[in-house]
Amino acid sequence: MPVPMTMERKQAAYTNLRLAAFAICRIRGTPSRGRSTKGQQYSHIYFTRLHHMRNLLHALVPSWKPQVPVTTVLGLEEGKDCIIVGTLYKHMKLKPSILDEYSKERSAIPLVKPHNFMHPDDHLILEDESGRVTLAGAIAPAEYVTGVVLALRGKETSAGNFLVEDVLEAGLPHQTSLSAADEDKYVVFVSGLSVGSATFNPLQFQFLIDHITGHLGDENEQSIASKIARVVVAGNSVHISPRFLNGQMVASKDQSRIAEPIKELDIMLTQLVASLPVDIMPGCHDPANFSLPQQTIDDLYKYSDAKDRLEFMERTLRWRHLAPTAPNSLGCYPYTDKDPFLIDSCPHVYFVGNQDKYETRLFEGPEKQKVRLICIPRFSDSGVAVMLNLRNLECSTLSFSTSFDA
């Protein structure tokens, strides 16, 4: 009888680099005044964002358009060729306004919203501390969103607009080179498990776990699985029925059912974590603090246009900002001393979870930066998880099906 081969799982060094960047260091409270939190406004985020990005853009301007003067919006002179730097605001006709909720009757069914709020009449406005000016010319509103900081070259027209001739984005930041690895090591990404939802298939998830932990397949499959060093669960792991979450009283017989999906997820993840390290990230439907902006790429899809989701991701890298539409159409904490979503060094892997389908591209920057862009599909819909090779940043899929008529 052949002796079964023992295989050891590969291990990879891991450091969480950005945890401190998002920490809320000071939540101001003055109990003597009877308030628990200070009412910070969002102007601080925009101020720090503009300041940081403007420094970057000013450094790039001399090599982009030498000899052209840089001026503030208030300092624009009609007909004079110059460069202005500021934050974009996109005026959108169809963008829902909070005031609409007061004008219409409140109904129990949510009002049907258009999937995408774009309209041919949308126009862009550039704003800095001194003022704002409407933009026209070589800048397409469909490609941009509110919150992006740019440098624009052009001149003021007699109508009081700024006619844009050329646009400068900050571009990809510097990337530290990937240390050469001599062996294949994989990270598995999965998202949209949706444990507790109608579309959740426990057998499909169990297959994934069994494959990763080496309980499935022959020696070939097991040796591949032994090279998986880590699993990243990218959001929406749990689905809790909305009727428990709308603020109404939950009957006692239902109370135990609220936690069922979390308990089930716990049992499944226990099997995984016994075998290898797992990172779990909260998604927009997960019961976690409303801390980081969720659905940043989906929000870009609502307010602008691109050929695919990966192109939105490329734009966020060129704009050097993870969530440009925050806080305009995406919620976030009103930071006062920094904008933590600015991208200061180019990532090697950039992924988005809970997408409709799997997509990937290796995006190359002007200074030989290489970024693996990944759209991870919802596992409960597709049965697809993504496998990334850390040695060469190649991407493949793990696909699980439980039906026989595939």
Partner 1 sequence: MASSGVKDFYRQKKKGGMTKASPSSKKKTQQYTGGASVRATDTAQTSALISHGSWDLKDDFGDHEEQLRQFDMDLKFGPCIGVTRLQRWERASAMGLQPPAHLRDLLLGAPSTKNHSSSGPSPECLWEGKV
**Closest residue by Cα to residue 191 from 317, 396, 17, 375:** 375
Of 145, 139, 128, 132, residue with least CA distance to 86: 128
CB half-sphere exposure, 44, CA atoms < 13 A: 12
Residue 171 burial (CB count, 10 A): 17
The only residue of 9, 10, 22, 47 in contact with partner 1, by rule CB under 8 A: 47
> How many CB atoms are closer than 10 A to CB 371?
21
Tell me: does residue 31 bind partner 1 (CB under 8 A).
no
* Window 305-334: contact mask with partner 1 (x via CB under 8 A): -----------------------------x
Stretch that binds partner 1, among 47-55, 109-117, 185-193, 368-376 (CB under 8 A): 47-55
Would you call the peptide bond into 327 cis, given omega within 30 degrees of 0 as the criterion? yes
The answer to the question of residue 22 lying near partner 1 (CB under 8 A) is no
For 301, other C-beta atoms within 10 Å of its C-beta total 14
Q: Is 132 in the site for partner 1 (CB under 8 A)?
A: no
Distance CA 121, CA 178 (A): 45
How far apart CA 379 and CA 188 sit, in angstroms, is: 12
Query: Based on C-alpha coordinates, what's the Rg of the chain?
Result: 25
| Site membership for partner 1, residue 223 (CB under 8 A) | no
CA dihedral 214, 218, 223, 229 (to 10 degrees): -20
Q: Please, which residue, 52 or 153, has the CB nearer to partner 1?
A: 52
Nearer to partner 1, 101 or 129 (CB): 129
Per CB under 8 A, 4 contacts partner 1: no
* Pairing mode of beta strands 278-281, 228-234: parallel
Smallest distance, Å, CB 337 to partner 1?
Answer: 4
Q: DSSP 3-state assignment of 85?
A: strand
Binding flag, residue 337, partner 1 (CB under 8 A): yes
Q: Which CB sits closer to partner 1, 121 or 337?
A: 337
With beta carbons less than 8 A apart as the criterion, state whether 331 and 293 touch. yes
Question: Pick from 373, 396, 195, 375: which is nearest to 298 by CA?
Answer: 375
> Which residues, 49 to 68, sit near partner 1 by CB under 8 A?
51-52
Q: Does 336 bind partner 1 (CB under 8 A)?
A: yes
Number of residues that bind partner 1 (CB under 8 A): 19
Q: Which of residues 154-183 bind partner 1 (CB under 8 A)?
A: none
Among 16, 32, 158, 252, binds partner 1 (CB under 8 A): 32
Nearer to partner 1, 33 or 115 (CB): 33
26 vs 115, beta carbon nearer partner 1: 26
Report if residue 48 touches partner 1, rule: CB under 8 A. Answer: yes
49 or 309: CB nearest partner 1 = 49
Query: Is position 41 an interface residue for partner 1 (rule: CB under 8 A)?
Result: yes
d(CA 20, CA 235): 21
Residue identified by tokens 């080496």 is 214
Among 9, 10, 12, 44, contact with partner 1 (rule: CB under 8 A): 44
Q: Alpha carbon 105 to chain centroid distance? A: 34
Which residue of 40, 157, 271, 275 would you call a contact of partner 1, by CB under 8 A?
40
Rule CB under 8 A: is residue 396 a binding residue for partner 1?
A: no
Residue at 386: amino acid letter: V
Chain residues binding partner 1 by CB under 8 A are 26, 28, 30, 32-33, 38-41, 43-44, 47-48, 51-52, 129, 334, 336-337
